[in-house]
Amino acid sequence: MQLVEMASQSNQALEPGYQLLNYRIIKQLSGGGFSMVYLAHDESEQPVAIKEYLPNGLALRREGAVVAATSAENQATFRYGLKCFFEEGRALATIAHPNVVRVVNFFRANETVYMVMQYERGKTLQEHIQATKRNVKEGFIRRVFAQLLNGLREVHTRKVLHLDIKPANIYIRLDGSPVLIDFGAARQTLTNEKSKLSPMYTPGFAAPEQYNNRERLGPWTDIYSVGASIFACLAGFAPQAADARVQDDKLVSAKKLWAGRYSEQLLEIIDWCLKLDYMERPQSVFSLQKALMEQVPEPPQKRSIITSIRDTLNKDIF
Amino acid sequence: MRFSIYQSSRQGGRKYNQDRVAYSYSKDALLMVVADGMGGHLHGEVAAQITVQMLAETFQKQARPTLRNPFDFLTGAMVAVHDAIDDYASQHDLLETPRTTCVACVVQNDLAYWAHVGDSRLYLFRGGQLVVRTRDHSRIQQLYEQGQITEAQMSIHPDRNKIYNCLGGLIPPDVELSKITPVVEGDTFLLCSDGLWSMLTVNEIASVVGAYPIDRALPELLDHAEFRGGEEGDNLSVLGMTWGGPPRQAPAQSVSTATMPLDAFTTRLDRFDTAREGDGGVSDEEIEQAIAEIQMAIKKFSK
């Protein structure tokens, strides 16, 4: 997530042990531009993830629990941002799908609002890519993304766009199933951005139309990010940022980069999703999913006995 | 085309402003719209917003740079709005479909075409005199026409809010079309919601519109109506346009489309989230309501 404005003062997280309604804060999981996420336990000691609306630069909590706007002028923007936080809640509340993070509660406290989500155990796809050292298996990619697209289809059916799909926002549960998390950018389809809360996007994963043609946003926008995420599985890094590609496209096609290492069909899917012209990409999640689920023979691997033994020993659980 | 145009919407004494106003023009055609939403909470606002937005968007698609048939455009767009509001209601599982009035007017080739449903009005003034006004689709308008009440009684009658024709809801709208009316220099069109007209007599409106340029006349009318409406006053909205060159010095909103390219449009339309005046943000009630809605959705969708 790109920070829109640099925070001059940083916010204090809620202390471990803090009792927030019927939830007890265990620890802070992450803190970003607009919110902080905590691990907490509910009254039956079940873990939940709680997202707190706390936009850096607009609102401040130095000590204690109560959040205050940094200035009177920012008070209005803080309130406006609340509305965006509501959009995220609204979008997620209507989606009950195993591959989309589930919201279980939403409430107001400490002069701000909180969204309680199911806590998932596992790691992000980003952590997985880092752990496997750029050796993510084709079978894993196909299975994870085919499942993830089931969730994304449900999201699009609700007329919501995620707009920030990237490996860090794809969570892989312990059983290997993926969950789409962080709908913090999703609001953009539903409301108009204002200067202080300009659109969020992650360079490399955001589609070109997210930079300046926001009226062109559509399912194909999320599909670009899916393509970029698969690309990152192979490369270990994001493709060249789309705004730079529009100026001077230096992106080498996946088909060239990984010929022989992954099936030609998978590489073609990546290149298809990463088309700069949104009309040339898969137009719906369904058509992309169909392509991903096609049966293709795995590419012949030249393997030495040593690597073969090493692979067997290091066999990953996915 | 040369004309002066001014629009404004005020909340009055209500918690929300469910009125919307918008205009859009190409080189050779002008569209003006007023919608007055009805329905609980914020939903009336949504219906009115859908109306002005869809009309402006459809106008921009079809005015190349004039509309082939303004009446077809007005009827088609209003019926489409009706369907869009119903779709919105079913998508959001609203118990009560939001509804809205709508009055819209197109001027092109020195001819005016207008259409309306409900009790938002269009007035045409010429030389300080009323030429024509729309007839409300309301119970009191019927009583007035049957001679049972006077025009003055219309604004205080207990049934004054009952309309039988609108966009959204179970009954398809019956869009009433005007005559094709030639427009001459100096003509003033006034489109407004009942929050304005119910507080003023026709003579009052005519004399203010006749005495001042449009950008001074309308704030004056709004001030009077808002004052009379008082703490319980309805939302009040008005959009006024005077055709031709400005009589005295040019008011701020005087427009000449002579230099506009053929495919260009200028549209003034308040966005949903900026239309509300006041602190520019979200009120406590809205926060509570949003949270209640989200909690309801969570309950409903968690098996």
Interface of A with B (CB under 8 A): 75-80, 82-83, 86, 89-90, 93-96, 102-108, 113, 159, 191-192
pLDDT at B64: 87
Of A50-59, A129-138, A241-250, B248-257, which one has max mean pLDDT? Answer: A241-250
Chain A: residue nearest B284 by CA?
Answer: A79
Instruction: For A122-311, give the CATH class.
Output: mainly alpha
For testing the chain B interface, which of A82, A87, A106 should be mutated: the one with the most B CBs within 10 Å? A106
* pLDDT tens-place string over residues B140-175: 898 888 889 888 888 778 877 788 999 998 889 999
Chain A residues with beta carbon closer than 8 angstroms to that of B280: 76, 80
- Given a cut of 70, is residue B195 above it in pLDDT? yes
pLDDT at B58: 92
Note whether B261 contacts A: Cβ–Cβ < 8 A: no
Domains contained in chain B, CATH given: 2-301 (3.60.40.10)
User: Residue B230: phi, psi to the nearest 5?
Assistant: 65, -155
pLDDT at B42: 64
Domain residue limits, chain A: 21-118, 122-311
Average pLDDT across chain A, whole number: 82
- Please report the beta strands in chain B, taking only residues with DSSP state E, as ranges in sequence order: 2-10, 19-25, 29-38, 99-108, 111-117, 121-126, 129-133, 176-177, 181-182, 188-192, 236-243, 254-256, 266-269
Q: Which of residues 144-173 of B touch A (CB under 8 A)?
A: none
Average pLDDT of the segment spanning B97-101: 91
* pLDDT tens-place string over residues B252-283: 457 777 666 666 777 777 655 433 333 445 67
Alpha carbon distance A133, A236 (integer Å) = 7
Handedness of CA B219, B221, B223, B225 (dihedral sign): negative
Burial class (CB in 10 A: 0-12, 13-18, 19+), A218: middle
Question: Residue written as tokens 């009684």?
Answer: B153
* pLDDT tens-place string over residues A218-275: 899 999 999 999 999 999 888 999 988 999 999 999 999 999 899 999 999 999 999 9
- ipTM (interface pTM): 0.72
* pLDDT tens-place string over residues A109-125: 888 889 999 988 889 99
Report residue B218 as tokens.
């309308």
Alpha carbon distance B183, B172 (integer Å) = 31
For testing the chain A interface, which of B94, B294, B296, B301 should be mutated: the one with the most A CBs within 10 Å? B294
Place A171 in a pLDDT band, splitting at 50, 70 and 90: very high
Whether the Cβ atoms of residue A154 and residue A164 lie closer than 8 Å to each other: no
pLDDT at B165: 93
Place B132 in a pLDDT band, splitting at 50, 70 and 90: very high
Helix or strand or coil: residue B182? strand
Whether the Cβ atoms of residue B59 and residue B69 lie closer than 8 Å to each other: no
Average pLDDT of the segment spanning A275-304: 82
Burial class (CB in 10 A: 0-12, 13-18, 19+), B173: buried
Cβ pairs A/B, distance under 8 A: 66
Place B71 in a pLDDT band, splitting at 50, 70 and 90: very high
pLDDT at A160: 80
CATH of A21-118, one of 3.30.200.20, 3.50.50.60, 3.40.630.40, 3.40.50.2300: 3.30.200.20
Helix or strand or coil: residue A78? helix
